[in-house]
Amino acid sequence: MEQAGKSPPLKFDRGTLLLRHPPPKRVAHLCRRDARGEGWRCDALHYKAVAQALNEEARAYLVEIAGRGRITWPQANLPRLRPDQEAAAAAWMQSRRGVLVMPTGTGKTEVALHIMHRVAAPTLVVAPVRDLMYQWHRRIQERLGYDAGIIGDNTFNKRPVSVTTYDSACIYMQDFGNDFGLLIFDECHHLPGPMRSDAARMSTAPFRLGLTATPERSDGREAALDGLIGPVVFRFPLAQARGTILADYEVQRIPVYLSALEQARYDQCSETIRRHMLERRQEDPEYSGYDLRREYAKSPEARQVLAALRAKQSIEDRASEKLRVLADLFRLHPDQRVLVFTGSNAMAREVSVRFLIPCLLHHCRKNERRQVLEGFRDGRFRAIVANQVLDEGVDLPEAKIAVVLGGLSSAKQAKQRLGRILRRRGQEQALLYEVVCRETKEEARSRRRRNSDAYQGTRHFRTRP
């Protein structure tokens, strides 16, 4: 039973620190009086500052915090870092907290593994998706000989060194936030956000490493990373990476046309929408898509119009000619590994069933993912298709050809998708095919994509193979 009189002076309490006595002046601004627990509280994040302040006041504090043990790596097998990678590691080691901005393909995982090795503290690696979590698990095994615990994907196996996803970290950090000394946030631009931030706030870990190619967020919240992880301590711009470390790459855009039937349905949908908007704008010139969505609940007509909008999108996404183009691209590169990205799970399954190539979707369990990726690596599968699972960082070093069949247009996604095929391998050039419907919104999206930083300096030409 919890008894107020016996609680320790400083205690980790579900993601917060509970102080029994008034906090030292230096950290008082971080703490709040908590009448419910008869003490003061602050975010676990401030553990180091609070503990230091308490020690300076020379009060005899018993501090009940785990995660300060030292890890001995069973079998370290780390290749030497390149000078630029070493510079990144050294920059971080100075303060042991902060963000490294390194584009995909510059070996940020290697840098992180070296840092883990040097710090040798209980470590939690937080990855954006399950595939990446498993990839980290594999890399830790290969490079440090350690069989890391897995938290996520319906598994809860916590070990002194563990891997997890952002969602699991956000949910469970309140329970194990005092068990780790080092936190590594892979693709750390995912961290800011009112709830996600708890993955960093609710931990006492004094050492924090953020890895990202693209710290910028469209909501401008990247500033929060400073408090949650630390400042940017190293920046490796993409333009510098291209051509030196990374293979050169080329973007080819392939326009497709809707079939007569698809075009007819597409036009019919467009007409439904156009007529509705026209009618409504006669009554209300300001009438917009937003108003339309608001009417959805009450009006069967609005529902029809929105259904038409969705149907248009789906026609674009799943245009049958895309499958024909894909067949041609497969013929063009029969001996090379080809990665296919689609705009939806349904399209990914359609591609999978048409060509009998594996698809990596969210429902795939650990074992299946591993076998598919292994099969892709050793050539049993020459092509695989994915929706967004592969968007970030899944390790596919030898894929040189990627095909994008629709998808979202944010600059970040384009960069990361490019990153998939930009891995260095001799002088071989990488190719990204973008298959877009002509005369539709998708073309505008593709234009926007090409304007982002990642594409600058690449050659574009229109071809129809």
Partner 1 sequence: MLTKELAIFELDRDRLVPERLTRHRHRHYLGYARAMLSIYAKGLGCTRQELHARVKALFRGEPDCPPQRIAAFCKLLDEDRVAQYETDRRGQAAALRLKVFTLAGPMHPLVEVRDRLFEHAETEAKESIARQLGRSTWAQVEPELFADVFECNRLQQFTGYASPEALLSRYNVAQVQAALFRATRLRIEARADFQRIITHAKLARLLHDIRPGPGAGYTIILDGPASVLRETRRYGADMAKFLPALLSCRDWRLEAEVRLRGYGPPVRLELSSESGLKSPMPPPPEFDSSVEAAFARKWGTEARNGWSLRRAGRILQQGQTVFVPDFVLNHADGREILLEIVGFWTPEYLRAKIGKLKLFQGRSILLAVAERVASKWKDRPAGLILYKTALKLDGVLEALEAGWPRA
Confirm if 221 and 248 have CB atoms less than 8 A apart: no
Among 358, 406, 407, 419, binds partner 1 (CB under 8 A): 358
User: Cα separations (Å) of 2 from 37, 91, 413?
Assistant: 10, 44, 49
Q: Which of residues 363 and 464 has its CB atom nearest to partner 1 in the complex? A: 363
Q: How far is the CB of 312 from partner 1 (least distance, A)?
A: 18
Q: Tokens in use for 378?
A: 């050793």
Q: Which of residues 190-209 bind partner 1 (CB under 8 A)?
A: 194-195, 198, 201-202
Q: Which of residues 1 and 58 has its CB atom nearest to partner 1 in the complex? A: 1
Q: Tokens in use for 60?
A: 């005899």
Please tell me whether residue 9 binds partner 1 under the rule CB under 8 A: no
Q: Tokens in use for 93?
A: 């080691």
Q: How far is the CB of 379 from partner 1 (least distance, A)?
A: 8
User: Cα separations (Å) of 81 from 84, 114, 139, 314, 444?
Assistant: 8, 8, 15, 46, 41
Residue 167: count other Cβ atoms within 10 Å of its Cβ: 17
Site string for partner 1, 237-276 (x = CB under 8 A): ----------------------------------------
Q: Which of residues 318-337 bind partner 1 (CB under 8 A)?
A: 324, 327, 330-331, 334
Please tell me whether residue 34 binds partner 1 under the rule CB under 8 A: yes
3-class state of residue 161 by DSSP: strand
Q: How far is the CB of 3 from partner 1 (least distance, A)?
A: 6
The site for partner 1, by CB under 8 A, has a size of: 56
- The Cα 431–Cα 462 span in angstroms is 13
Q: Which of residues 293 and 460 has its CB atom nearest to partner 1 in the complex? A: 293
Among 43, 179, 186, 391, binds partner 1 (CB under 8 A): 43
Q: Which of residues 121 and 385 has its CB atom nearest to partner 1 in the complex? A: 385
Q: How far is the CB of 76 from partner 1 (least distance, A)?
A: 34
Sequence-ordered alpha helix ranges (H) in 122-259:
130-144, 166-176, 198-201, 224-228, 238-241
Residue 142: count other Cβ atoms within 10 Å of its Cβ: 13
Q: How far is the CB of 170 from partner 1 (least distance, A)?
A: 8
Confirm if 424 and 105 have CB atoms less than 8 A apart: yes
Q: Which of 201, 183, 165, 199 is nearest to 112 (CA)?
A: 183
Contacting range for partner 1; rule: CB under 8 A; set: 30-38, 105-113, 311-319, 394-402: 30-38
Among 79, 296, 451, 456, binds partner 1 (CB under 8 A): 296
Longest dimension (CA), the chain: 82
Q: How far is the CB of 295 from partner 1 (least distance, A)?
A: 10
Please tell me whether residue 154 binds partner 1 under the rule CB under 8 A: no
Please tell me whether residue 11 binds partner 1 under the rule CB under 8 A: no
Sequence-ordered alpha helix ranges (H) in 120-259:
130-144, 166-176, 198-201, 224-228, 238-241
Please tell me whether residue 6 binds partner 1 under the rule CB under 8 A: no
Among 116, 211, 383, 401, binds partner 1 (CB under 8 A): 383
Q: Which of residues 437-456 bind partner 1 (CB under 8 A)?
A: none
Please tell me whether residue 371 binds partner 1 under the rule CB under 8 A: yes
**DSSP track, 311-354:** HHHHHHHT-HHHHHHHHHHHHHSTTS-EEEEESSHHHHHHHHHH
Please tell me whether residue 290 binds partner 1 under the rule CB under 8 A: no
Q: How far is the CB of 300 from partner 1 (least distance, A)?
A: 6
Residue found under tokens 């870092």 = 81
Please tell me whether residue 23 binds partner 1 under the rule CB under 8 A: no
DSSP-derived secondary structure letter, 186: E
Please tell me whether residue 126 binds partner 1 under the rule CB under 8 A: no
Among 8, 14, 64, 428, binds partner 1 (CB under 8 A): 14
Residue found under tokens 């994915």 = 386
DSSP-derived secondary structure letter, 427: B
- Establish how many alpha carbons lie within 13 A of residue 137's alpha carbon, considering only the half-sphere containing its beta carbon: 21
Contacting range for partner 1; rule: CB under 8 A; set: 77-85, 111-119, 347-355, 456-464: 347-355
Distance of CA 105 to the CA centre of its chain: 15
- The Cα 93–Cα 233 span in angstroms is 10
Please tell me whether residue 174 binds partner 1 under the rule CB under 8 A: yes
Task: By CB under 8 A, name the binding residues for partner 1.
Answer: 1-4, 13-16, 18, 32-38, 41-43, 174, 194-195, 198, 201-202, 296-300, 303, 324, 327, 330-331, 334, 349, 353-358, 361, 363-365, 367-368, 371-372, 375, 380-383
